[in-house]
Structure 1
Amino acid sequence: MDRLTALELFVRIVDRGSFSAAAADLGMSRPAATATIQALERRLGARLLHRTTRQVRPTSEGDAYYRRCTAILADLEDADQTASGTVSGRLRVDVAGSLARTMLLPGLPDFLAQHPRLSIHLSEGERYVDLVREGVDCVVRAGTLADSSMVARRLGTIEEITCASPAYLERYGVPLAPDRLAGHQMIGFVSSRTGRPLPLEFTVDGAVVEVALPARLLVSGADMSAAAARLGCGMVQAPRYRFADDLASGALVEVMADYRPVPTPISILFPDNRHLSPKVRVFVDWATETLAPFLSR
């Protein structure tokens, strides 16, 4: 096996923390991957990886070699694609909630037409994604970001509202202010980080006020939360774009518009331990432009 393939395999093993996952990514067998790394270590005269039954991690020599290899491979990819004038390969992107379907997906056909040698694996979720370990190139996330080793580009903010169905409001009354919510219920949206339902959030005289109402229904997905709200299961908060059709049809009604939650930041994140490849760069630039009309600065 040639030296370039060996470098690519080594970097992928460190990124994924697994021989099997790295081998599958590169379309080779686990035994072939093992033999390639053994040959690389013999040629260098150094042990590059610590192997246990649970994990694979670089040695001190392997860590230094990994940093050089990632830079070399990134420069090579950049040079190839600069010379050809095209970007190529597969791009893995994870997008929070319905941002993918509502804001990004409609423009993807044009983006793919502009880059015919590029393919995209687009996943949709709210959970924390370990980009390096899972082989994901970048993620688009809503909300305040936890400290991480990733590079984050804040794209803007999106308006949040509080909604309920006409049937719910007929039964429980229309709430006029956060301090007049006694007797009301919320649909409990369970945080993927804490495992507990998030309180409702309101802005009162410039300050953020959290209200944890009783929740007889707990959900962990944005679509289910909206569906439950339509059925009158309780009040719900989410970005306005998620409820645009429901508000237009009257299936949901905004309440307490004078006390809306703080707008939610939208960010795109990618690892900081690797050179920003051309395929990631073009996607980040396109996503930034595509999301701009929906966001406030």
Structure 2
Amino acid sequence: MHSFVRVASLRSFARAAGELGVAPATVTAHVQHLERVLGVRLLERNTRSLRLTEEGAVYFEHCCRTLEEMRQVEGRLASGGPALRGVLRADVPVVLGRRLIAPRVPAFLGRHPQLALHLSMENRSQDLIGRGWDCAIRIAALPDSSLIARRLSVIRWITCAAPEYLARAGEPRSPADLAHHNCLGFMPVGERAPAPWRFQADGRPIEWVPSGNLVTDSLDPLLDAAVAGLGLVQIDHAAARSLIGEGRLRRVLAGFVADGPPIMLLGGGARQMSRKVRAFGDFVESLLA
């Protein structure tokens, strides 16, 4: 039902799969299973469009109500149980961990005084069980696996620089102006070139390969370099939020912001996430909101 609702809402199997963190074939199989069980066609689809059938529209409304009722029931059960206790081992990306999550960890543990959090920022593997993690935050649309996935948010790529840099080099007004700027690049692990920056203009995606005097395989030092006035950086809005609020970075090209991959909470080893993992996911989701 959840897969069907997301496909109908987004008008796309691929986008629904990306949001849910599963393969498109899995979402397709879920919808086909519903159609077989119900004995009706829920979606009319071809290579160019996708829309609800008359029966699908009726079923969609009931699914939305049912899923919302289930979320409310699960929330009441989770909040009404015994206090969380024991150890929660979580792994998170460095830039989100250091800039967003770590500063608010005392508040999370204050709400759960009998819980101990072991927070890692290795961010190198999806092998939770082999590395002893209970859960992990990952920025990617993930393939099918034994892991349980929950979408927390989506990356929003923003471009920013220190006010001192912009006063010295000027402010770009369009992605084409970046050719005249020092653009600090992020190089994914295992790659030998910086990842392209992503923009959107008039509904069309635009990519720009950054060219500058610093490329690293971690976004965190790029933020430090941008704050120091070295150049422009493209980063997730959530990771740069506090620096922008403090005036140490300033956004540019605000009219060209593009969405990136989903931010996922991963858990493993059971049919559903433990209460500890769900609580950590709720905490991170609130920070990303």
TM norm structure 2: 0.62
Alignment-derived partner of residue 150 in structure 2: 153
AA in 2 matched with 1:275: A
AA in 1 matched with 2:254: A
Alignment-derived partner of residue 260 in structure 1: 257
Q: In structure 2, what is the Cα distance between the partners aligned to 1:284 and 1:183?
A: 46
User: 1:56-75, CA deviations, whole angstroms, 9 ceiling, x for partnerless residues?
Assistant: xxxxxxxxxxxxxxxxxxxx
Unaligned runs of 5+ in 2: 1-80
Alignment-derived partner of residue 284 in structure 1: 277
AA in 1 matched with 2:216: V
Q: Secondary structure at the match of 2:262?
A: strand
AA in 2 matched with 1:291: V
Q: CA deviation at 1:158?
A: 4.6
Q: Secondary structure at the match of 2:266?
A: strand
Q: In structure 2, what is the Cα distance between the partners aligned to 1:133 and 1:169?
A: 46
Of 257, 262, 270, the match for 1:275? 270
Shift in CA distance, 283/174, structure 1 to aligned 2, threshold 3 Å: same
Q: Percent of aligned positions with the same letter in both sequences? A: 33
AA in 2 matched with 1:284: V
Q: Secondary structure at the match of 2:274?
A: helix
Q: Secondary structure at the match of 1:229?
A: helix
Question: Would you say the 8 A contact 1:189–1:197 is kept in 2?
Answer: yes
Of 219, 226, 231, the match for 1:229? 226
Q: In structure 2, what is the Cα distance between the partners aligned to 1:106 and 1:292?
A: 16
Q: In structure 2, what is the Cα distance between the partners aligned to 1:138 and 1:195?
A: 30
Q: CA deviation at 1:152?
A: 1.4
Q: CA deviation at 1:201?
A: 0.9
Shift in CA distance, 275/156, structure 1 to aligned 2, threshold 3 Å: same
Q: In structure 2, what is the Cα distance between the partners aligned to 1:100 and 1:275?
A: 25
Question: Would you say the 8 A contact 1:202–1:209 is kept in 2?
Answer: yes
Check if 1:249 corresponds to 2:246: yes
AA in 1 matched with 2:153: G
Q: CA deviation at 1:231?
A: 2.0
Alignment-derived partner of residue 164 in structure 2: 167
Of 173, 176, 179, the match for 2:176? 179
Alignment-derived partner of residue 56 in structure 1: none
Q: CA RMSD in A?
A: 2.7
Unaligned runs of 5+ in 1: 1-83
Alignment-derived partner of residue 138 in structure 1: 135
Shift in CA distance, 289/131, structure 1 to aligned 2, threshold 3 Å: closer
Q: Secondary structure at the match of 2:94?
A: coil
User: 1:183-207, CA deviations, whole angstroms, 9 ceiling, x for partnerless residues?
Assistant: 2221111212535421111111222
Question: Would you say the 8 A contact 1:107–1:290 is kept in 2?
Answer: no
How many equivalent pairs are there?
206
TM norm structure 1: 0.61
Q: In structure 2, what is the Cα distance between the partners aligned to 1:295 and 1:207?
A: 26
User: 1:127-151, CA deviations, whole angstroms, 9 ceiling, x for partnerless residues?
Assistant: 2342122122210122433554422
Q: CA deviation at 1:260?
A: 0.9
Query: Which residues of 2 match residues 83-162 of structure 1 at below 5 A?
Result: 85=82, 88-101=85-98, 102-103=100-101, 105-113=105-113, 116=114, 118-146=115-143, 148-162=145-159
Larger Cα Rg: Structure 1 or Structure 2? 1
Shift in CA distance, 125/134, structure 1 to aligned 2, threshold 3 Å: closer
Question: Would you say the 8 A contact 2:84–2:276 is kept in 1?
Answer: no
AA in 2 matched with 1:191: P
Q: More deviation in 86-95 or 199-208?
A: 86-95
